[in-house]
Amino acid sequence: MTTEPQTAILAGGCFWGVQDLIDKHLGVISSVVGYTGGDLPNATYGNHRGHAEAIKVTFDSDQLSYRELLEYFFQIHDPSTKNRQGNDRGSEYRSEIFYTSDEQRDVAERTIADVDASGIWPGKVVTAVTPAGPFWDAEPEHQNYLKRYPSGYTCHYERPKWKLSNARVQ
């Protein structure tokens, strides 16, 4: 049975690194980076006050469940640091899941509870779970940035030993 592609909107720090890693995951069809979570219309890189740098992911749920996508999201960024990833600091670098349905909200909340219970991060998850709102695509020079500049800046990486499925549940 083939299902319609699903959409997930995730913020985990600088969108370049998140996009680069998530795009390589089996089941991801496409992604676009942009700004969401604020109240400024037509956000841009130069003016996205209140917004998070985020990625909108289209994925094939026959190959990749929303839960699996979230588990990978928690593996590639630090969800225990508020408004920060690596050297990037500020609310635009916050960890946030923007849900598009009640089901996504429920899955996100359960996943966060499981990540907290696992003890794989040094602190509690600070990732917010928020209804999705307007998403403003980032400028073309920010799309697929690390594909075009493979040695460009990123603070995201896979942590193979930090997979939730391998975590010690307390």
CB 53 within 8 A of CB 17: no
Instruction: Tell me which H or E stretch contains 165.
Output: none
- CA distances, 138 to each of 25, 45, 142 (Å): 22, 7, 6
Q: What pLDDT score does 168 carry?
A: 40
Active site residues: 14
Q: What pLDDT score does 62 carry?
A: 95
Instruction: Tell me which H or E stretch contains 148.
Output: helix 145-148
Distance CA 43, CA 99 (A): 20
Q: What is the pLDDT along the chain (170 residues), one digit of tens a residue?
A: 568 999 999 999 999 999 999 999 999 999 999 999 999 999 999 989 999 999 999 999 999 999 999 999 999 999 999 999 989 999 999 999 999 999 999 999 999 999 999 988 889 999 999 999 999 999 999 999 999 999 999 999 998 888 876 544 33
The tokens describing 141, both together, are: 């020079």
The amino acid at residue 164 is L
Rg, the chain, Cα only: 15
pTM: 0.94
Q: What pLDDT score does 1 carry?
A: 56
Q: What pLDDT score does 93 carry?
A: 96
End-to-end CA distance of the chain: 37
CB 3 within 8 A of CB 62: yes
